Each structure stands twice: as structure tokens, then as C-alpha cells.
Amino acid sequence: MPELPEVESVRRSLEPQVVGLKIHGIEVFETRLRYPVKPQKLKNRLLKKSIQKIHRRSKYLILDLEDGQHLMVHLGMSGVFYLSESTQTREKHLHIILKIGENKELRFTDPRRFGMFEALSSAELKRDKRLLNLGPEPLSEELERDYLFQLSRGVRKPVKNFIMDSRKLVGVGNIYACEALFQAGIHPQRAAGRISAQSWDRLFTAIQSILHQAIQNGGTTVSDFKNGNHEIGNFQNRLQVYQRTGESCNRCQKTIRQKVLAGRSSYYCPGCQK
């Protein structure tokens, strides 16, 4: 957490408010993030540059600025990147401030400090190793419906681990993998290569449907997540299996179970998911 819908919610909430505004000040209070923050590099690359566009690649938020400069942000496990009035009280764990427009600030908080805040040129962004080996976007119109079926042939790993592999498909984190598998009626431990084309088609539809629903509901807030307006998401109120161990399935009334796969808790219904 945050996953693709949360990052997309941040992008959609920020872009209409900040595009066209110029960064005229940068303050860094903490450099010890997942990748060390370089204050002088941020200032050299971003100061006096206007924000032209905000886009997303996987779970990375990318701000395009003038003169081929970019700011790449990753929220890590607890990061929040949001727009604030400059007069608003500065909260705990506030690490970076970008002063934009008149009396506005883009603030980055991150209690657990697994996030990222890095300035890159267009050339550096193009060859950045964190982006080079990423799989396709699950909501891309160019993605073929049988892509996952064809890719999974002969694969023995559990289907949940397979769809969470960012080299195969980006942005399907633990929450949405659990929910999509439930919607498709597939047990998370089933071998990816033994799932039929028909079942893969159901799962492909479920992945896209769940991600769209989550985005429309502003993402899922189970702990720290807030969007670019510092508002929590609402999709947690629609979760069918995630973190519902011991509760009754809304579909068949059997008890939701939990199993650890590849170090991640997997939630599923033994009645609905075979």
C-alpha cells in the first residue's frame, strides 16, 4: 500500500490543480527515504520550472516540468503527497515541501520513510532501471485479453503471485489481487499454468473491473492513504475478502480464510474460490 488505484487517485486529484503552476521554493527536512533525497539536485532541476503534466507508471507518480525535467515520486508504504495552503500547520513526518503558485504547497509526508522523491532529466527517466523492466499497465487499451493466459503457460507458481509480479503486469498489489481472484472465483493458490483460457478471461475482466471501481472510489484507505486533497479513499467499504478473515462471505456465507503466499497474507472464500 498504496497500490495503483491510490496512486492514480493522487494523480487525478492533483493534476487539475497544479498544472501550469511554477515551483518557486523547495524545503527538505528529511533526506533518509528509501533512496536518499538530494536537496541540491531537486533545487537545481525543479526550481523556477512550471508543472506541465502529471502521469503514472505502475505505482510511480511522475511530474513533467519545463526543460525536460521530471519529478518521480513513490509513496512507499505510508507516503502522502498532497496540495496544501502554505498557512496550514506543518504536520509530523513532513519531509519535503514544494512551494507552488500563490500560497500553495505540495507536501510529502512519510512516517515509515519507504517513499521516494527524485528529480530526473528526460534521458535519465527513459533509462531508469526502476521503470525499464515493468510489465504492461492492466488498464491499457492496447493490452490483449489473452495476454495473461499466454504468458502463464507452463508456470507452476500460484496465480496470485503471478498477477502480482510487476514484470508480468504492473500495479496489481495484494488488496486488488485478492479481490479480483474472489470476483473471478479462482483460488489464489492454483497454479497459474493450470488455469483455463476461460478462467483467465474472467480474471482479466475482474482485475480491470476491481481497479476501475477502486479508482472511482478514491482508492482504499486501510491505514495511511490519502489523496492529493488529503482525503481518504472509500473502496475499503466495498472489500469482499481482504482483511475479512473469520467473517462470512457476502456471496455464499462461508467463512473467509487467510493463507500466506510468498510472504503476503492472502484472503479468500473456500466456497466461492476453487
The grid coordinates of residue 106 equal: 505540495
- Dist. CA 76–CA 86, nearest whole Å: 25
Active-site residue flag, 264: yes
- Dist. CA 243–CA 198, nearest whole Å: 28
Peptide bond into 5 cis (omega under 30): no
Task: Pick the catalytic residue from 104, 251, 257, 264.
Answer: 264
Active-site residue flag, 244: no
Active-site residue flag, 270: no
Contacts of 90 (CB under 8 A, 6+ apart): none
55: β partners: 62
Helix 174-184 to helix 197-216 angle (10° resolution) is 130
Task: Pick the catalytic residue from 45, 59, 99, 244.
Answer: 59
Active-site residue flag, 2: yes
Strands 116-121 and 104-109: unpaired
Task: Pick the catalytic residue from 2, 5, 158, 188.
Answer: 2
Strands 80-85 and 69-74: unpaired
Give the residue numbers annotated as catalytic, written as ranges. Answer: 2-3, 59, 264
